[in-house]
Structure 1
């Protein structure tokens, strides 16, 4: 199996439980010292240098705005060497009734069976409206 195939399989297997509502295995794959970039100029855009910082300052504020769980679905996965590109959607509703139908593309670097880097491409206008 090539490095590309191995990395894609690793990410795909970790993502599958997320489609059933359990994001834990995917985030377990993310290195504690991940370099995670959220694009744009939203309140949570920027570069995070640890998984905990990302959870505290980006995911936490978003999850506080949402009502219940989100539905997440894999759209596509591609890769080349240590790079893996994951496209997926999430659907949910905010506590104020705004639909949060988000499309994501995570451009990732997988090293030593861990996600070491992620650049998250998202609908930043939607994210800004949800966080307002």
Structure 2
């Protein structure tokens, strides 16, 4: 089979278009990864400075799963449901949790953050916990989270400290 020069050029053009579209898709994916990681990094910085939290990035219908067997472990179907749980924890704290990020890893639409939180409980004992949050993004908002943490430390806080009346 003999290919004409125009057929060869046509095949080259198709190959170049495929290569470029793959490169553009890869660049777009990298850009999304960087954007999501930056959003998370900025949200943690704001939280550390008392100017917001990562929860500000949640979509209204975000699903949040707390792993383990603590009193708050389970699946929450919305930002509002999660807010109730967060209040049950913060009502036992004399100071806000201050986060320190150890690492942020992004791949596709997922950002994973390993972080440590410190606070003082109402009984003046320290609350120190380590968290690993696996967050899925869509259009700049977090839509799904699995939160892993030392549930023993959280369970101890929840059982030991009576919540302040809000």
Q: By the TM > 0.5 criterion, same fold?
A: yes
Q: Which has the higher strand share?
A: 1
> Which stretch shifts more, 121-130 or 83-92?
83-92
TM-score by length of 2: 0.74
- Aligned partners of 2:66, 2:137: CA distance in 1, in Å? 18
2:79 to 51, 63, 86: 51
Deviation at 1:52, TM superposition (A): 0.8
- Checking the alignment, whether the CA contact within 8 Å between 1:38 and 1:45 is kept in structure 2 is yes
Deviation at 1:72, TM superposition (A): 1.6
- SS state of the match for residue 152, structure 2? helix
- Checking the alignment, whether the CA contact within 8 Å between 1:21 and 1:70 is kept in structure 2 is no
1:97 to 116, 119, 124: 124
Q: Which has the higher helix share?
A: 2
Q: Which runs of 5+ in 1 are unaligned?
A: none
- Aligned partners of 1:77, 1:97: CA distance in 2, in Å? 31
Q: Which runs of 5+ in 2 are unaligned?
A: 1-26, 160-166
The correspondence of residues 1-132 of structure 1 with structure 2, limited to 5 A, is 2=30, 3-24=32-53, 26-56=54-84, 58-132=85-159
- SS state of the match for residue 82, structure 2? helix
